[in-house]
Structure formats: structure tokens, C-alpha cells
A and B are shown apart, each in its own frame.
Chain A
Amino acid sequence: MQLDFVNRELTIKLVYYGPALSGKTTNLQALHKAAEPGSSGRLMTLETKDDRTLFFDLLPLTFRNQGNLAVRLKVFTVPGQVIHASTRRLVVQGADGIAFIADSRSNETQHNTESFMDLRENLKQHGLTLKQMPLIIQFNKRDLPDVRSDAEIAELASKGREPVYLAVATRGIGVVESMIGLLHLTWSALDAEHDLNKKFGFDAAAFLAQVAQKLGNPKPVPEILRACVGGALDVLRPEAE
């Protein structure tokens, strides 16, 4: 998080993590497509000539004049390929929240696990633990055959702490919900630490509603948040309003 007091501007860094080809970039593309032109900048992709993410994708989203504060979201992806370990470590540094994009297919389970261990290791290198980090998990590619069943995921999710979302990023399904969930957790954590709501007269609920609106989802925020299976969305909140 970067707070610019002079311009009353807050920058939040969100990172989409996950194994190679799990759909992190596709998530960002879907968000970019869904976003109103005024609130989203260009999606920047630093890619190799074979179209795989080399360093990262970066999607800037700006929400002006919320209360007394302009909020800028910088959404990054990391390259999933194993060889880019050092890049992943660089990108994940200073992340305020992480969305872990998992591949739903049964035969990708191992890759999900490895990537998650990698995330844990990289956070550790920056002196962070998963426990401190606002984190949601998205099971992507729900439209493919041979995916782990909804029941299986729900069963596992009910045991876990992190909110779990189901998504088909190529069709934009579940993408905004995941994002709102992540943003909700991240904001709660940042507010708990920095007391942002009070300091800046910031209305977090209205902010989330605005983001959802600008990302093309006009439903009430509580309803959007309920799209997750398992986990606890309010685990990091200091207290319920």
C-alpha cells in the first residue's frame, strides 16, 4: 500500500498468483473488459513472443473521490512458469492482497499445490506469512471436463479459512466476484492496520459498491460477497458494523 497524503491518494497492490496457464491473465483481461473506460487503464502485458507472461500483467483501476480519498488499484499477475521464480518473488513483494487462481482440472491439482507452496515460500522470503495476507482462492476453468466437482470443492472450502470462488474467466464468470471478495478482505485488513475509514471519512461499503458498479456488476455488495463457497470473508474485520 502506498499512501500519498498530499494528493490524498491510496494505491493498493493486488496480486493474482497461481500455476502456469491457470488463467491469471485471463482474469485480468476479463476485469479490463468489464471495467468502465474511465476507471480502468490499459492492461499492460509484458510477454514473450510465444504469448506467455514473462514478467507480469498490470491492470490499473482508479476510483476517484471516494469520501476524501482517491483509490488506485494495481492488479498484477505473476508468471506461473517455474523458471520465473525470481520474478514472482519480486512481484509479490509489497502485495496487499492475493488472489490464488487454481486450475479446476483434476490432473492439475499437483500444480496448484506446488504453486501454493511456492507462494508461501516467497512470502516467507519477504518476512510474511499466509495468515497475515488477505487471500482468496479461485477455482477457474469450471467449464472444462474432468474438473473437480463443485461438491468436492465446497467440502474442502468449508474446512478452510480463505473464501473460495468458482470461475470461468474466459467468459467473465466469477471474475468480478473474486475481485470484490479480495478487495473486501484487503480493505478490511488495511483499515484494521491504518484506520483508513476514520482518517479519511471513507465509506468502505460504498466504495465496494462503486467498484462493483464500475466493473459492471450492479448487484448489492453483500450478495456479491455471498458468491463464495466456504472460507470466512469477515475473518480479518476488526468488528462487524
Chain B
Amino acid sequence: MIPPPAAAKTFDELTLGHGAALEDLIDRDALGEMAKSFYELFGVPLRIFSEDGKLLGDAADQIPLYTFVNSVRAGRALLQDVVGKVKSLALPDDGMANFPCATGESYLACAIQYDGKRIGRIILGPFVSDATSEPPAALFALDTSLDPARLRELYAALPRAEPDAVVKLARHLERTLDLLLFSGHRALLTSNMHLASVRESFRELEDKNEKLQTAFDRLKELDRLKSNFLATVSHELRTPLTSIIGYSEMLFEGLAGDLTSEQREFVQTIRDKGEQLLQLIKGLLDLSKLESGTMSLRKSQTDIFGILRDVAQTMNPTARKKDVEIAVEVENGLPLIWADAERLRQVFLNLTENAIKFTPPKGKVTLSAKLTSLDAAHSDDAGGVVILSARRTAIEFRVADTGIGIPDAEKPRVFDAFYQVDSSSTREAGGTGLGLSIVRRLVDGHDGVVRIVDNTPKGTVFVVTIPVKRATIS
């Protein structure tokens, strides 16, 4: 997961110089290879140690003299002593010190410094000066059992180099290493800076996300409050409205005495407008219930033809008034559908009413139903289409009109609450703009889809597809 925000510390550690060790900056194998190549070229054995004495690179053959001397006890002790002393040799400010052994050969220790700090040392040797030909007496005195002739022979085979030249070699090696260390450090810094920058950007984004989330939560809460408000207000409006309608009905029916025809007309208008208002409030209530998810659908096995026929009959007087024909075309042998009959009726009443409203005289509104299938994955984009796309049997309802049609750009928006394609035509045609948003939510509640296609040659088709059986996933 996301590393802890320790980047800044790392950054300071790296740049202010207490972090980098020799091993971090340079590849061990490559260091060994460099040492070997150096040894091959100049013939002086060398070893590279980290500051805490770990051997990092080694280029030295077995020295036959040492193998020979090692065979006696005094020789072993001497060699061990030399190794210890060379490794811990105190180095002066210029970083270089020579260690002459009692047995005649020399070592040169050279500090590896980076950024003003010692982070390791190079040890060159053993080597003997070209000028030396005879081993020192101390070598022969080591143990009398060692054959002097053999000692002489092996001593002559020691690596040879002039001390001055070795110092130059050491300086060269030091500079080469410094370059490598610098490059290594730079690469280390660069990659750490990349990391640190990414972490910093990540932190910024996290911050912004948090702010967005807060804003989003707040909006959701406001939305919920709005729905609650709508539900409460609708309910409170309905109660007095019922009285208004009830009393105007009683007046109209003469329960409070006879009315003149003009009075009857006025009372009739009051009642009609009251009814209209009640429908609007019911719509609002439905919508808020649907939005808040508190509307429960009472689903049962429902006969489709019955519903469509009923809708057509209900809307027939309105259609006839506008001189619009209504037709119902239902395929034979359609199965029963798992739905809330009352709500489904509401869906098609809404759609049919709309269709009639926007169809000019001599036009035709057709309600049809046929068998089709529906992708189970249609309703969300959560993925898993391969698994979810088992097709389900569904009924496709079409409410087709020959009306003014809906422009493509408007199609996705007509299901929004209170949205009107054209407010001037609304004035003419009436309506609240709630119908289609209720339709959409009711269809959603049936696990179905509603979409709009163009009718040919003109008009609009609302296609509602609802699965026949209930989804098996609860």
C-alpha cells in the first residue's frame, strides 16, 4: 500500500549526509569487477572495505609466500597481526597511510571519502619495492624450520611496485570511486526525489479527495432533506385539498341547496382544479417516495394484456376528444409478468397520456407488447458482463405515437424531474414534468429499462423492457 509519509525525513537524511553508506551507493559485484580489472592492469592486489570493516571488493591471488609462512605458528601470528593492523590503520587528513611490514613488504591504506566523510577504505598490497632484492632478516628469523632458499624464491615472486607509483594508483582509484559514488548518490537522490514527489502529490490529492467527499456527503444529506420535505409538504397539502374537493362536490350535488347554473359552473371549476392539484401532489409524493426508496411495490403475477387494455380504455375519451386513435397490439401467449399491476398501469397511463398529448389530430397511439430478452447486466456498469450477461426473458412494451418527436439531445433529460422539452408547448399541453421521472423510477423498481427511440416516419416510441421473472439474486 502507500508508504508512510517518511519521505521528507529520507530526503533530509540523504541530502544532509548521514544516510548514505558505501554499499548503498555502489554495486558490490561491479566494485569487485573494477578491483579485479585494476589488479590485472597494475599487478598490485587490492581490497575495498566499508567503514565498518566489511570486505566489499577483493582482487588478490593467493600469495605463495604467505601460504608458506602460514605453515608455522609464528608466521600465522605475524600474518594475523599484519591484517588486523592494516585494516585499522589510522589515516591522516590526506586519507593515506603506508604500512611497512616487518617482513619487508608494504601495504597502502587509502580512505574512501564522500561528501567530506569517510565511508570506507582501499587497501593496496602487499607489494615490495623494485629496488628490494633480499628479504629482510626478520623473515628468516621467523622460524628456523622454514627453508631460506624457498623463502627467497617466494619473496622474489611478491608483487612489485614503487611506493610512489602505488600512491598514484591509490589516488587514481580514489578519484574513480568518487565519480562512481557521486553518480550513485545522484541516482539514489533522483529516485528518492521521484518517490517523495509522488508521495507529496498523493498527499495533495488525498486532501482534495477528502474535501470533495465532505462536500458530497453534505449534498447527499441536503438531497435527503429535500425528499423528506417534499414528502411532508405533499402530505400536508393533500389533507386540506381533500376537504376542498369534498365540499365543492357536495355543493355541486346540491346538498347545500340548489345552485344557479353559473354557480354550478364555478363550483365545477373549483373541483376540477382541485383534482388537478391533487394529481400533482400525488405525483410529487410518489416521486419523493421513489427517491427515498420508501415506496414498496406489491408485485404479483400480472396479466399484461389486461393492463394495456385497461389503460387504452381509460385514455379512450381523452384520445377521442383530440381525434387520436388508440390501438393495443399484444402478441399471443405472453407469460404473466412479476410486477406491481397498479404501478405498471400508472407507467402506461403516464406514457399514453403523454403520447396523446403530443400527437396531433388524426394521429395514432399504439400500445404493444412482445416477448424479448434482457441482459442481466443492463442495470449497472459494475463489470462482470461475461458472468452477468445471462439473458433473461422479458416483455418489451412500446408506446408509439405519431407526434412531434423528441430531439436527440433532449432524450436523456426527459426523465429528469420537472424537466420540460419545451415550456411553450407545455403551456399548451399542460403537465408538471413529473410523469416521466416517475415512470423511470417505477421501471427501475421493476428491474427494467426504459428508453426512447424515434418512430417512423415521425413521432416517438417509449420502449419499456421488464423481465418476466424476479431476479434470483436477492
Q: Which residues of A contact B (CB under 8 A)?
A: 2, 4, 11, 13, 41-42, 44, 46, 54-56, 58, 60, 62, 70, 72, 74, 76, 84, 86-87, 89-91, 93-94
Contacts and interface: CB of A to CB of B under 8 A. Distances in A.
B84 to A, nearest CB: 24
Contact of A90 (B18, B190, B193): B193
A41 B189 contact: no
Nearest to B194: A55
Contacts, number: 63
B123 to A, nearest CB: 23
Interface size class of B (residues with CB under 8 A): 20 to 34
A72 to B, nearest CB: 6
Contacts of A76: 15
Contacts of B430: none
Interface of B: 7-8, 11-12, 15-18, 115-116, 182, 185-186, 189-190, 193, 196-197, 200-201, 204
Please name the 6 residue pairs, one residue from A and one from B, whose CB atoms are nearest each other, closest first: A86-B200, A55-B193, A62-B116, A11-B16, A86-B197, A2-B16
A222 B115 CA distance: 30
B201 A90 contact: no
Contacts of A58: 15, 189
Contacts of B17: 11, 60, 72, 74
Contacts of A93: 8, 11-12
B116 A44 contact: no
Contacts of A44: 182, 185-186, 189
Given A11-B16, A62-B116, 9 more contacts: A2-B12, A55-B189, A84-B197, A86-B204, A89-B200, A90-B200, A91-B11, A93-B11, A94-B12
Nearest to B200: A86
Nearest to B12: A94
A70 B93 CA distance: 14
B190 A2 contact: no
Contacts of A72: 17, 116
B189 A90 contact: no
Nearest to B187: A46
Contact of B18 (A4, A87, A91): A4
A93 B193 CA distance: 13
A11 B15 CA distance: 10
A87 B17 CA distance: 19
Nearest to B202: A86
Nearest to B113: A41
Contacts of A89: 200
Nearest to B114: A41
* Most chain A C-beta atoms within 10 Å of own C-beta, residue among B18, B115, B116, B186: B116
Contact of B186 (A46, A86, A87): A46
24 contacts: A2-B18, A11-B16, A13-B15, A41-B115, A42-B182, A44-B186, A46-B190, A55-B190, A55-B197, A58-B189, A60-B115, A72-B116, A84-B197, A86-B201, A86-B204, A87-B193, A87-B197, A87-B200, A89-B200, A90-B8, A90-B196, A93-B8, A94-B12, A94-B16
Contacts of B201: 86
A58 to B, nearest CB: 6
A60 B116 contact: yes
Contacts of A11: 16-17
A2 B18 CA distance: 10
Contacts of B182: 42, 44
B74 to A, nearest CB: 40
Nearest to A64: B116
A76 to B, nearest CB: 7
A91 B17 CA distance: 15
A74 B18 contact: no
A77 to B, nearest CB: 12
Contacts of A60: 17, 115-116
A109 B402 CA distance: 68
Contacts of A62: 116
Contact of B197 (A41, A90, A94): A90
Contacts of B15: 13, 58, 74, 76
Contacts of B204: 86
Contacts of A94: 8, 12, 16
Contacts of A74: 15-17
Nearest to B182: A42
Contacts of A84: 197
A13 B16 contact: yes
Contacts of B190: 46, 54-55
A110 B203 CA distance: 29
A4 B200 CA distance: 28
A124 to B, nearest CB: 15
A34 to B, nearest CB: 18
